[in-house]
Each structure stands twice: as C-alpha cells, then as structure tokens.
Amino acid sequence: MPTISRFFGIVIRMYHREHAPPHFHVIYQDQWAAVAIESLAIIEGRLSRRAAGLVLDWAELHRNELMENWRLAEAHKRLKPIRPLE
C-alpha cells in the first residue's frame, strides 16, 4: 500500500488494483476514509472535521497529480509522491 503523502499526522495512500471511482485512502490516528478524487467527497469511512478539511484542501491543490497516480496504479506502475500540505 504505497504512501503518496504525509502531513500533520495524516497519511495518504493509494492502492494498486482498486475499484472505481478514482479515490485515495486517508489514515489519521484511529480514523480512516476513502475520498473520491473528482468530487472530493468522502465515499467510505469517517474523518474529524479538522482532518477532513486538511485532506480536502490538500486534494484540491493536487487533484491532477492524484489522477495521474490513479492511472499509474491502474497500470501497476510505481506511484509518485505528492507534496504535503504546508
């Protein structure tokens, strides 16, 4: 499970052999969620309001890179790291 970014204790991962819609996984403390890249909606799991806000701000800034990684994952290629939220 490749980690593509980390910031403020939040870990962002994307898996190979995933199902649609394009999404990424978030782990923060004891919380977990899957976030759709196109809509930036939490499609599974749950995050605190603060964590969700940080993740969605980051994802909005890096949506193109997230989609590029999704395509790489579909092709079973190495994923690229994405800059953390600063």
Delimit the domains of the chain by residue range: 3-74
pLDDT band per the 50, 70, 90 thresholds, residue 74: very high
Q: What is the mean pLDDT of the chain?
A: 96
- pLDDT tens by residue, 17-57: 888 899 999 999 999 999 999 999 999 999 999 999 999 99
The 10 Å Cβ neighbour count of residue 28 is 19
**pLDDT higher than threshold 90 for residue 73:** yes
Helix/strand/coil (H, E, C) string of the chain? Answer: CCEEEEECCEEEECCCCCCCCCEEEEEECCEEEEEECCCCCEEEEECCHHHHHHHHHHHHHCHHHHHHHHHHHHCCCCCCCCCCCC
What is the structure's pLDDT at 58?
98
What is the structure's pLDDT at 5?
98
> What is the pTM for the complete model shown?
0.94
What is the structure's pLDDT at 17?
80
